[in-house]
Amino acid sequence: MNKPLVIIKNLKVCIIVALITTATIMTSSCYHNVGRKATSAVTTASQSDTMAFERTHHYSLNYNFVVKADSLVLLRQQPEELLNNMLTDSVIVYKHNHIVVADIRIIPADPIDSVWIQVARDQNTFGWTHESALLKRAVPSDPISQFISTFSDAHLLIFLIIISTISVTYLMRTLLRRKARIVHFNDIDSFYPTLLALIVAAAATLYSSIQNFEPDVWRHFYFHPTLNPLNVPFTLAVFLATIWAMLVVSLAVVDSVRRTLPTAEATLYLCGLAGVCAANYIIFSIATLYYVGYPLLAAYIYFAVKTYFNRSRCIYVCGKCGAGLKHKGVCPQCGAINT
């Protein structure tokens, strides 16, 4: 088969997948706006305070949380009774319990936290807690928010860094010793794996950049997550676009590797690519927090693109079997001599 026809066919597949994905995200959204109520023409003082609280804290009455800690202790009485050293009682909600915000109080005299939140598990189980304690021990009920909370945990991040470093080092050493196919070093004649690694690096850089320069945007996204890039600020839209691009290019990578390599080699190649992408995520997300990620990303893009075009791109096609060739001569696939 003529190589240009193969490339055009692969591009058609990617374009079709991209169009389907775009149509899906334009007509649907994972945004689940919990706790918002339709506003009337007349806004009361209480409603105005609630709206002001929501603008700064990004959640309000009727917002749903899930307890992630082993337990969360709630005060049954009013917060003022505790502050005045009166006798109080408590109730406990446990891990995985769903709770909803029932009331919000601002008490400036509290030396620990002036914001008190009343939450309820059911009609008989409700009480007050500091906002700081609530946000530390509970997460929004949306699955995307829970995913963000999990991967923002410092202990988990350290564990992932250690495990990923050991795994990637061992995998790269094994692949290089066997002279197996691996992205950037002994790559296949497809730009999709290199493109996927670059997209992951760019997404990690954007992720940390939003946290550095627009933390309020990221905080709002944490409480009101969505996968629709058309309904968020520009920087967040670009980040979500890279996530969708990552998905589309991953499908193209699997298809290209499946067509190029035998099953065993393809599996090993994909494992190596996954290791490189994991390393890119960790390196660029951490480096960008200290502003080193930007020159590092520019250097990585230059290295990856130059390496692919100098080492991996096939400029010839076998006249017999259609396999890609880096130079003229004997075809490694069918043995035909190409001159």
Residue 180 has a pLDDT of 74
State the amino acid at position 335 in one-letter form. Answer: G
Q: pLDDT band for 271, please (50, 70, 90 cuts).
A: confident
- Radius of gyration (C-alpha) of the chain in whole angstroms: 27
What CA–CA distance (Å, rounded) separates 133 from 95?
14
Nearest to 193 by CA among 97, 261, 103: 261
Residue 338 has pLDDT above 80, yes or no: no
Mean pLDDT of the chain: 81
Residue 154: band (very low, low, confident or very high) from pLDDT cuts 50, 70, 90 = low
In this prediction, residues 192-198 reach a mean pLDDT of: 95
Q: Are 336 and 320 in contact (CB under 8 A)?
A: yes
Query: Which of 19-33, 92-106, 148-162, 318-332 has the lowest average pLDDT?
Result: 19-33
Q: Which of 131-140, 157-166, 277-286 has the highest mean pLDDT?
A: 131-140
Q: Where is pLDDT greater, at 130 or 19?
A: 130
Q: How far apart are CA 258 and CA 253, in angstroms?
A: 8
Residue 238 has pLDDT above 50, yes or no: yes
pLDDT for residue 279: 87
Given this model, what pLDDT does residue 46 score? 64
C-alpha 313, offset from chain centre: 31
**CA proximity to 131, closest of 109, 103, 94, 157:** 103
DSSP sequence for 142-186: SHHHHHHHHHT-HHHHHHHHHHHHHHHHHHHHHHHHTT--BTTTB
Of 215-229, 260-274, 285-299, the range with the lowest mean pLDDT is 260-274
**Is residue 196 predicted with pLDDT exceeding 50?**
yes
Contact present, 200 and 280 (Cβ < 8 Å): yes
d(CA 277, CA 201): 8
Task: Write the DSSP assignment of 12-74 as a string of letters.
Answer: HHHHHHHHHHHHHHHH-------S-----SS--HHHHHHHHHHHHHS--TT-EEEE-SSEEEE
pLDDT digits (tens, 9 = 90+) for 59-76: 999 999 999 999 999 999
Average of per-residue pLDDT across 239-255: 95
